[in-house]
Amino acid sequence: MGLGNLKQLAPFIKEAFQHTLLVAKFLCGIHVTNTYLCTFALTQGPSMLPTFSLTGDLILAEKLSTRFEKMQQGDVVLVRSPENPRKIVVKRLMGMGGDTVKYAAGPGNNDKKDTIVVPDGHVWIEGDNKFDTNDSKKFGPVPYGLVQGRVFWIVWPPENFGSVGREVR
């Protein structure tokens, strides 16, 4: 290839490089947004009925509340499962470190309540569906570091589109 051919290719190479930089910046922006600001997640299963549908909802969770410890009892949160670290679960935050939490001792048992003081640096999480959920009643308090974000919006399906409220039981 001669010098003349390289001069003809130079504008195309420059343009390709600029496009590659633009794509790289875009992907870095998505990474930073997903890691530090907010993320999408898909709910599955019955544990959060009726808040989320059984067939699954696409939700949006912000990550700033967890970083600055601004979560409150009743918030719906994304949590890395203490039983399977590859899995992210969606549950309701029922207590923070130092809080006293009363919970049903058995599945669907409203008569017998147990009480626990959540240790510092931990949270107590429960599913909204008290009859079919795998939560702190089974595996105990969860380290705060496993909380990944606070769910604030349902994106899909369209009939459920809207904010996710705080519910204190």
C-alpha distances in Å from residue 57, one per residue of 91, 117, 143: 14, 32, 26
Contacts 24+ apart (CB under 8 A), 41-47: 41/78, 41/88, 41/90, 41/149, 41/151, 43/90, 46/129, 46/132, 46/133, 47/89, 47/90, 47/91, 47/127, 47/128, 47/129, 47/132, 47/133, 47/134, 47/135
Catalytic residue check, 91: yes
Given 47, 63, 136, 137, the catalytic residue:
47
- Please tell me the distance from the alpha carbon of residue 69 to that of residue 72, in angstroms, as a whole number: 9
Residue 79's beta-bridge partner residues?
89, 147
Given 65, 87, 91, 137, the catalytic residue:
91
Q: Which residues are catalytic?
A: 47, 91
